[in-house]
Amino acid sequence: MAEPKENVLMEKIVSLCKRRGFIFQSSEIYGGINGFWDYGPLGAELKRNVKELWWNTMTRQRDDVAGLEATIIMSPQIWKASGHVDTFSDPMCDCKGCKKRFRADQIEPSSGVVFHFYGAEDRSMNKALLDQLLADKSEEEQRKGKERYLELLKEERDADILKEELETHLRSGIPEVRDAAADKLRQLDSLERCTEHFAVLLPHGKPRESAEKKASVFFQQKGIKVPRFSAVRTENVENTVSYCNDCGCELTAPRPFNLMFKTYVGPVESEDNVAYLRPETAQAIFAQFKNVLETSRQRVPFGIAQVGKAFRNEVTPRNYTFRSREFEQMELEFFIKPDEVVEAIKGRVTPGAELDTRHPALDTSSWGWEAWHKYWVEQRIAFYEGIGLSRATLEEYWQKPEELAHYARACVDILFKFPFGTQELEGIAARSDFDLSQHARFSGKPMGVFDEELRAAWGKLPKEKSDDLWRRYYENRKKYLVKMGVEAEQAAKDATNDANGLAKGQYIPHVIEPSAGVDRLILALICNAYSEVTETDDKGKSETTVVMKFHPRVAPIKVGVMPLLKNKPELVKKAQEVRDLLRPWMNVFYDDAGSIGRRYARQDEAGTPFCVTIDFDTLGEKPELKDTVTIRYRDDGKQERLAIGELLNWLLPKIR
């Protein structure tokens, strides 16, 4: 659980985000909608910068990556093939008391006393029965009977006592009384009862009544108006995850809950028209793999990048924007040759451990999946460092073999130290040839590539080598097919065909997938940038202000332009000229309202790295300073003078 100090920090960050227009709750005027967030003016700029930097780094500045922008709604077959329809679910529990829904793996362990309630039956029914029983008695007898009944209720033994009373009637010598008693006993046996067990966990020392109240509400909802329990048992428990973290009531057993948002395409809402909002951008890349390959003149190894919206009906959206229901992803699918192909062409696969992938050799031709995977982990960390998230704020988590998806060979999560805990920013997975293979099987369209180098190399391999590579490729293909439910004989046949393809220069590429969330990165950048500065004046009065120390490359506003005074037309004119000079190149904020100190403070809160002030020296009061401006640095408040003519070239390398 987060420390209070961290909660306080998060509260300050959330409040600043609203106050300064970084992030707003979606549909706020209607009370909001859980798991959905809007970006205000500063947030929109920050987000745009981050996406653009990712796009430039991953595509434009590389020769081996092409871009894609696909639709959000695609053929539902895509989600069948990818496994999302059948397995994209979270284990979910419901609280039997407050009805809140939790992800089973996110329940905080709790300890205390559990009160187990058994055999709830309806006291109000007993009351009705008693009324009937007393109906043919004199007024005096009725009064006495009711008084006795109320006493019995207090003792909570009414049903049994009633039964006893009726049984005495059964022994009566009068047949009518016997018959009536027998009749009422039958009614008593069919009393409204609930056999369901219900339990409530209370912290040690909390009174039992509190649990009883919750149990009563639970059984009332089941139609037992005045529940009475045949047994209540208590049990001491430690670190259990079977009870609601909010109200202590028992949780249902976990059950899978598919996270995809469902909709219908066209005017008819039938099963035939079901479609899904994409839960990841990756699958469109696989589905368009052949089209991109053919139109971009790329050859394996190469990647396809996409940035766009994804939707997941998360069971418990939480931690501000960290887990949202609508979010954006920046995904790269980097297609590589299977290791058997690299080995056939180059004679060996360079072991990942041998490589310093931060400075990749020019020749990557002997890289197998391990080296490419390592390379992309380093590239992605370097990207984060380049936008201000130092290595000290990041962690690498290498998933353990038992945590990996069945098709994955490795997966590294890049984690960021958020105030609420160290959590995933991005996952970098080595996904084998699973995705392309699935789409090939489901669509019936081949997803393999032809590689002339492989065909030429294969013919020259010693038989022992080609047999060994053939066997390894065959085994991998067969393993995948059997795992996907293809019958063993058929799987062997298909795997044989696939392995025979190697000799003809054909294979299905494997993939390395760096998959990052835009919104998580924005939140990380905001948390990372947040800092407070406290200054005390001569009179001992101190004031704390917020400085958002964004890296200039991501900062929403790059430069604040300010005339020293707004009532001096020459200063204003010059400041507007500076603004117009910079505007085509970057986001500039022109501010002439209030004292210069206030204006600087406003820009500090917005995270603007530089402020440019136009003063009387700019106008030539000191002739040697004519046409120079003051540059003020956000992070240390230092100032220096620069000629207006040099300003653009001074700023550009800092913000790009």
Query: Which residues are at the interface with ligand GAP (CB under 6 A)?
Result: 280, 282, 312, 314, 323-324, 327, 329, 331, 424-427, 515-517, 519-520
The pair of three-digit structure tokens given for residue 545, joined into one six-digit string: 């202000």
Closer by beta carbon to ligand GAP, 34 or else 365: 34
Nearest to 128 by CA among 154, 159, 157: 159
Complex with ligand GAP: residue 148 or 318, whichever CB lies closer: 318
E-assigned strands of 549-618? 559-563, 588-590, 610-614
Q: What's the min distance (Å) between Cβ of 377 and ligand GAP?
A: 13
One-letter amino acid at 321 equals T
Nearest distance in Å: CB 280, ligand GAP: 4
Min CB(25)–ligand GAP separation in Å? 15
Q: Closest separation between CB of residue 515 and ligand GAP, Å? A: 4
CB 600 within 8 Å of CB 632: yes
CB of 490 to ligand GAP, least distance (A): 29
Name, in order, each residue with C-beta under 8 angstroms of 537's C-beta and a sequence gap of 6 or more. Answer: 543
Give Cα separations from 346 to 209, 350, 367, 454, 504 (angstroms): 76, 10, 9, 10, 17
Q: In terms of DSSP H, where are the helices of 191-281?
A: 208-220
Query: Which residue, 339 or 426, is less far from ligand GAP as judged by CB?
Result: 426
Cis ω on the peptide bond leading into residue 301 (within 30° of 0)?
yes
Within 8 A by CB and 6+ apart from 228, the residues are 120, 121, 122, 123, 156, 158, 159
Least separation, in Å, of the C-beta of 298 and ligand GAP? 20
Three-state SS sequence of 156-185: CCHHHHHHHHHHHHHCCCCHHHHHHHHHHH
CA distance 425 to 47: 15
214/312 with CB nearer ligand GAP:
312
All residues at 6 or more sequence positions from 258 whose CB lies less than 8 Å from its CB, including other chains: 85, 88, 89, 313
461/523 with CB nearer ligand GAP? 523
Question: How far apart are the C-alpha atoms of 332 and 307, rounded to whole Å?
Answer: 9
The gap from C-alpha 323 to its chain's centroid, in whole angstroms, comes to 3
Question: Least distance to ligand GAP from the beta carbon of 291, Å?
Answer: 19
Q: Minimum distance from CB of 407 to ligand GAP (Å)?
A: 12
| CA 252 to each of CA 241, 244, 258, 387, 648: distance values in angstroms, whole numbers, following the listed order | 11, 10, 17, 44, 62
Pick between residue 192 and residue 331 the one whose CB is nearest to ligand GAP. 331
Residue 125 contacts residue 192 (beta carbons within 8 Å): yes
Q: What are phi and psi of 503, to 5 degrees?
A: -65, -25
Which residue, 149 or 407, is less far from ligand GAP as judged by CB? 407
CB of 327 to ligand GAP, least distance (A): 4
Query: Among residues 26 and 110, whose Cβ is nearest to ligand GAP?
Result: 26
The DSSP letter of residue 104 is G
Least spacing, CB of residue 517 vs ligand GAP, in Å: 2
Nearer to ligand GAP, 310 or 578 (CB): 310
Element (H, E) at 140: helix 139-155
What burial class does residue 135 get, using C-beta atoms within 10 Å of its C-beta: 0-12 exposed, 13-18 middle, 19+ buried? exposed
Q: Which is nearer to ligand GAP, 105 or 156 (CB)?
A: 105
Residue at shortest CB range from ligand GAP:
517
Nearest CB to ligand GAP, comparing residues 442 and 585: 442
Question: Nearer to ligand GAP by C-beta: 158 or 513?
Answer: 513
Tell me which long-range contacts 3-8 makes (C-beta under 8 A, separation of at least 24): 6/419, 6/420, 7/419, 7/420
